[in-house]
Structure 1
Amino acid sequence: MRSVRLTVKGRVQGVGFRYLTKMVADRLGVLGRVWNEADGSVTIEAQGPEKIMADFIAEIRKSPSPQGKVTSLSIEEIPAFSATRFQVTYR
């Protein structure tokens, strides 16, 4: 099991990025959450089996939103967390 925090920068707010990220996560069976940051970036906390997480990260790197554009993606390994689904949250 791999748990990560992704910080995604680029054109990632106002283009459906969070909702399409949720669709990718639901399709792959990834658990966690995604939210917008005040600086215009998006943060994703996600966990799943190693191979599935590699696929998830690859899809995020390409931008799940056709109107989006990822210019920077940082990956931080984090401790496992409790989640039963993937959700869009608001901060």
Structure 2
Amino acid sequence: METKRILVTGQVQGVGFRWSTTRLAQQLNITGTVKNLTSGQVAIVASGDSEQLDTFIAQLRQGTTPWVVITDLDITDSPAHHFSDFRIII
């Protein structure tokens, strides 16, 4: 299991990004969290196997809804963490 911190920049708030990211993570059996930041970015912590995370990141890059416009994904390794599910942090 691996854990990645993903900082997403672009038009990602107010466009259903957290909800669609949660749905995508659940489809791929990824656990973790997603939350809006005051900077206008979105922070994701995602745990899964390498293949699951590669697929997750590739689909994030494509945009999870037609209204999402991602200009940058900053991805860093994080210590492995097992979450019970994937959820939105408010």
Q: Could you say whether these structures have the same fold, taking a TM-score greater than 0.5 normalized by the shorter chain as the test?
A: yes
Q: Which runs of 5+ in 2 are unaligned?
A: none
Sequence identity of aligned pairs in percent? 37
| Structure 1 match to 2:24 | 24
In the TM superposition, what whole-angstrom CA distance separates every residue of 1:17-63 from its partner, at most 9, and x where no partner exists?
00000000000000000000001000000010100110001111111
Q: Determine if the alignment matches structure 1 residue 41 to structure 2 residue 46.
A: no
- C-alpha distance in 2 between matches for 1:30 and 1:3: 10
Q: Which runs of 5+ in 1 are unaligned?
A: none
Q: Helix, strand or coil for the counterpart of 1:21?
A: helix
Q: Helix, strand or coil for the counterpart of 1:64?
A: coil
4+ residue segments displaced more than 3 Å? none
Give the drift of 1:82.
Answer: 3.1
- C-alpha distance in 1 between matches for 2:65 and 2:11: 10
Tell me the TM-score normalised to structure 1 length: 0.96
Q: Helix, strand or coil for the counterpart of 1:57?
A: helix
For this pair of structures, how many residues does the alignment match?
90
Tell me the TM-score normalised to structure 2 length: 0.97
